[in-house]
Amino acid sequence: MKWWRHVVAMELRKILAYRSDFWITFLGQTLIQLLVARALWQMIFDAQGVTEMQGFTLEMMSLYYLIVPIGTRILTGESVGFLAREIYEGTFTRYLLYPLSVFQYKTTTYLTYSMFYAFQLLIIYTLFRIFIAQAAFTFTDFGNLLMGIGLFFLAATTYVMMALLIEMISLWADNVWSLIVMLRFFTSFFGGGLIPLTFLPSWTQAALEWTPFPYLISLPARTIMGLSTLGEMGKGVLILSVWIIVFVEFVKLVWKRGQHKYTSVGI
């Protein structure tokens, strides 16, 4: 099992290869999404003359939109889409020669990005608490933060399985990039990335309850904010775990059927 350390180290080197680009993009993305969301909701709160909407004050809304963009990056990683491209280009062969499963390798590379973004979330959230919210960082807050990050990791594992399942379709179709983008749209809207799920009509919330989507972004973000109960977290963990098992079985099945379709180019 020592191989994963080497894979993680290699991926970290890749992430940090263009440091200035990486940090400018990260800080820019986080700041812009937060500022635009804050501006929109401030106008809505002011126009309505209220201090709370669907259980969110303006400050809570700001915190939510601070966590969500980084949380979404933990969830979606960076390396999704590469497997499909490698299958299309015929360079997938190298993974068949590696002394480890391609799926283990891909999941490890993917979760390395998630790990790095989780570290960023830890820093940004701590800075926000201390300098912007000017609130004491209690033991409970720290516990919520760790539980939220843990949930984001479980969500990321579910997401990578969904993405792998889609990428396997490239054994039949030429290009599945658009399907992966569709998954992102679904996750963003039905996962609470665009708007907190409590704003959706109650019938939509009920329809989503047993799907993985509400537990991919909304639950971990709310957990970090201390808005989730232990029961909600337990239910989320259970539902995500079941979906992971389902997706893993599907990935195995599709791979079993599709691998004979693969045509390689060199090694």
Partner 1 sequence: MKRYLNLYLHFLRFSFSKAMEFRLDFTFRIVMDILYYAVNIMFFKVIFLHTPLVAGWTQEQMMIFVSCYLLVDAIGMTVFSSNMWWLPHHINKGELDYHLIRPVSPLFFLSLKEFSANSFMNLIIASGIMTYALSTYSQTFSIWEVVLLIALILNGTLIYYCCQMLMILPVFWTQSSKGFMDLFFSMGIAMERPDKIYKGWLRVVFTILLPFALIASFPARLFIEKFHWPTFLHLMSVTIGLWMVMLFVWKKGLRVYSSASS
CA pseudo-torsion sign 103, 84, 220, 20? positive
Binding residue (CB under 8 A) for partner 1 from 1, 13, 139, 201: 201
Q: Which two tokens stand for residue 175?
A: 């290009």
- Which residues on adjacent β-strands are paired with residue 53? 56
Selected range binding partner 1 among 19-27, 113-121, 122-130, 235-243, rule: CB under 8 A = 19-27
Asked if 223 and 147 count as a contact pair (C-beta separation under 8 A), the reply is yes
Q: Does 33 bind partner 1 (CB under 8 A)?
A: yes
How far apart (Å, rounded) are the C-alpha atoms in residues 196 and 250? 30
Q: Which two tokens stand for residue 171?
A: 């054994």
Looking at beta carbons only, is 44 or 253 nearer to partner 1? 44
How far apart (Å, rounded) are the C-alpha atoms in residues 19 and 205? 40
For residue 159, the one-letter residue type is Y
DSSP code string of 61-74: HHHHHHHHHHHHHH
Binding residue (CB under 8 A) for partner 1 from 58, 60, 146, 194: 194
Q: Where are the alpha helices (DSSP H) in the chain?
A: 3-15, 19-48, 58-76, 82-89, 93-97, 102-127, 139-168, 177-190, 202-208, 218-224, 230-258
Q: Does 101 bind partner 1 (CB under 8 A)?
A: no
Looking at beta carbons only, is 140 or 202 nearer to partner 1? 202
How far apart (Å, rounded) are the C-alpha atoms in residues 119 and 39? 27
Binding residue (CB under 8 A) for partner 1 from 3, 9, 18, 59: 18
Q: Does 91 bind partner 1 (CB under 8 A)?
A: no
Selected range binding partner 1 among 121-129, 187-195, 227-235, 242-250, rule: CB under 8 A = 187-195
Q: Tell the smallest beta-carbon distance from residue 219 to partner 1 (Å).
A: 19
Binding residue (CB under 8 A) for partner 1 from 10, 16, 36, 135: 36
Selected range binding partner 1 among 89-97, 102-110, 193-201, 219-227, rule: CB under 8 A = 193-201
Number of residues that bind partner 1 (CB under 8 A): 38
Residues that bind partner 1 (CB under 8 A): 18, 20-21, 24-25, 28-29, 32-33, 35-36, 39-40, 42-44, 47-48, 53-54, 69, 173-176, 178-179, 181-182, 185-186, 188-189, 194-195, 199-201
